[in-house]
């Protein structure tokens, strides 16, 4: 049985970044995935992901996003692929706003982070100021907004493909379409067993299995991770397509006002390519606990019509009811949208990365680098993973 220094299980956002960074440090590394990444079965698909740097989920995430921006640019240069467009992120809030990502101070944290990390930003203190610059948003009395100017959007499939390309170029071995069934740590190393009966050995294993992660950790840890179904919608542009170009439309998050049928924020993107394909704009599903092997991937016309009536029409009147495309995806959530990145308490040889609570993509390049540094050099140089350790989890858990 061939023995590697490290095996990375799962090659989506976190795994492809970890694999690439390990390989580039001269570590002998095997990456293995149950599908053939980039693919549409996990959490890293659907054309675009918002990347923000003044982070509402907590200022401690800003270092990760800022470092990732440097890394995305470096990966673009190394592969010739476009991964990142910088066009800002506008966050709108107002009276009785829904809570974003389970974080009460989400909006306030954005300006705190921008000031702390010298991130360029603009504020819009009245609905009139927002509407003057961004007439596509039907804002209400009391609404105000902040624009993170360093933000923009990433192309997730291209990011994963580019990191895998760099990993292979640096000598990593990739095994695709091969589910890992068991990870067995022992005193002298870790063995993994695959569904087709292969066994591989390594000194260490990094588990980056996304929504499948709960299967690989102890039960008392897995119970903190909730996998939910999320649906992406692309709606037609009915009027004023010019309002949805990169120049006129930053990516946006809108903490819309709470109502009986409105329970979550909406977010969206500018036109990505052909305007006749519509724009991706959707809301965050707050229920729908699921399992990655049985998640309902059928999106009915009724479901899209309900999303349009409730979350799109009242706020983005230039978009029409015709839903041109949908995709189903999964969040792996922890209370207050925390990340959990640490060694398995049962073995120092096993490190798990994620859950990343529905906002991990933008941070994945820096997380992969930091994990690789920890493993290869024993310390990180650009970001601190300490705030995301298991020992910090207890302080974020909601009662019950």
Residues near ligand FAD, by CB under 6 A: 9-15, 32-35, 37, 41-44, 49-50, 179-180, 208-210, 212, 230, 232, 329-331, 354, 356, 358-362
Give the burial class of 22: count Cβ atoms within 10 A of its Cβ; 0-12 exposed, 13-18 middle, 19 or more buried: buried
Q: Taking the complex as a whole, how short is the minimal distance between the CB of residue 250 and ligand FAD, in angstroms?
A: 13
Q: What are the C-alpha distances in Å from 73 to residues 81, 152, 153, 239?
A: 10, 13, 13, 34
Pairing between β-strand 199-207 and β-strand 226-237 as defined by DSSP bridges: unpaired
Whose Cβ is closer to ligand FAD: residue 179's or residue 241's?
179
Query: In the bound complex, what is the minimum distance in angstroms from residue 399's beta carbon to ligand FAD?
Result: 25
Nearer Cβ to ligand FAD (32/147): 32
Q: Which is nearer to ligand FAD, 127 or 304 (CB)?
A: 304
- 297-326 in b/e form (b: 16+ CB < 10 A) is eebeeeebeebbebbbebbbebbbeebbeb
The SS3 of residue 48 is coil
Give whole-number Cα distances, 330 to 122, 234, 258, 366, in Å.
32, 17, 24, 22
Shortest distance, position 361 Cβ to ligand FAD, whole Å: 4
* DSSP string over 123-160: EE-SHHHHHHH-TTS---TT-EEEEETT-EEE-HHHHH
Cβ atoms of 58 and 48 within 8 Å: the answer is no
With respect to ligand FAD, which residue has the nearer C-beta, 49 or 349? 49
Looking at the Cβ atoms of 47 and 127, the one nearer to ligand FAD is: 47
Min separation Cβ 12 and ligand FAD, Å: 2
Please state, in angstroms and rounded to a whole number, the distance separating the CA atoms of residues 283 and 311.
Answer: 7
- Please, what is the minimum distance in Å from the beta carbon of residue 41 to ligand FAD? 6
Cα–Cα distances in angstroms (integers) from residue 23 to residues 6, 201, 288, in the given order: 10, 17, 38
Residue 183's φ and ψ, nearest 5 degrees, are -125, 115
Supply the minimum distance, in Å, between the C-beta of residue 210 and ligand FAD.
3
User: Closest Cα partner for 331 from 312, 352, 354, 297?
Assistant: 354
Of all residues in the shown chain, the one whose CB is closest to ligand FAD is 12
Minimum separation from the CB atom of position 355 to ligand FAD (A): 7
Helix (H, G, I), strand (E, B) or coil at 298: coil
Kindly tell me which of 333 and 349 has the beta carbon lying closer to ligand FAD: 333
Kindly tell me which of 168 and 242 has the beta carbon lying closer to ligand FAD: 168
* Residue 69 vs 359, nearer CB to ligand FAD: 359
| Smallest gap from residue 156 Cβ to ligand FAD (A) | 6
């Amino acid at each position: 049985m061939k023995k590697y220094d490290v095996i990375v299980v799962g090659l989506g956002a976190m795994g492809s970044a970890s694999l690439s960074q390990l390989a580039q440090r001269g570590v002998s590394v095997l990456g293995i995935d149950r599908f053939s990444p980039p693919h549409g079965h996990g959490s890293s698909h659907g054309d675009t992901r918002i990347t923000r740097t003044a982070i509402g989920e907590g200022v401690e995430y800003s270092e990760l996003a800022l470092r990732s921006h440097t890394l995305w640019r470096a990966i673009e240069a190394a592969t010739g692929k476009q991964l990142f467009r910088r066009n800002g992120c506008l966050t709108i809030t107002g009276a009785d706003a829904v809570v974003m990502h389970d974080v009460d101070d989400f909006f306030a944290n954005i300006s705190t982070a921008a000031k702390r990390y010298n991130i360029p930003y603009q504020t819009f203190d009245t609905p009139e100021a927002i509407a003057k610059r961004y007439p596509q948003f039907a804002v209400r009395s009391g609404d105000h907004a902040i624009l993170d100017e360093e933000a923009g959007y990433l192309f997730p499939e291209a990011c994963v493909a580019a990191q895998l390309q760099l990993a292979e170029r640096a000598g990593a071995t990739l095994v695709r379409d091969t589910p890992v069934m068991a990870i067995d740590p022992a005193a002298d190393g870790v063995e993994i067993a695959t569904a087709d009966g292969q066994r591989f050995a390594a000194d260490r294993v990094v588990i980056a299995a996304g929504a499948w992660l709960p299967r690989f950790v102890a039960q008392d840890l897995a119970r903190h991770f909730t996998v939910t179904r999320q649906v992406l919608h692309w709606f037609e542009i009915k009027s004023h397509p010019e309002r949805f170009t990169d120049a006129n439309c930053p990516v946006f998050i809108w903490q819309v006002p709470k109502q009986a049928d409105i329970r979550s924020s909406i977010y969206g993107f500018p036109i990505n390519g052909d305007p006749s394909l519509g724009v991706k704009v959707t809301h965050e599903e707050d229920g729908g606990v699921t399992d990655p092997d049985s998640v309902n991937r059928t999106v009915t016309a009724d479901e899209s019509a309900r999303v349009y009536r409730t979350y799109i029409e009242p706020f983005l009147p230039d978009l029409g009811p015709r839903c041109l495309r949908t995709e189903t995806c999964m969040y792996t959530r922890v209370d207050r949208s925390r990340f959990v990145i640490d060694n398995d308490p049962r073995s120092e040889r096993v490190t798990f990365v994620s859950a990343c609570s529905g906002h991990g993509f933008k941070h994945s390049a820096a997380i992969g680098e930091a994990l690789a540094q920890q493993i290869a050099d024993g310390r990180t140089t650009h970001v601190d993973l300490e705030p995301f350790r298991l020992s910090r989890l207890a302080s974020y858990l909601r009662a019950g």
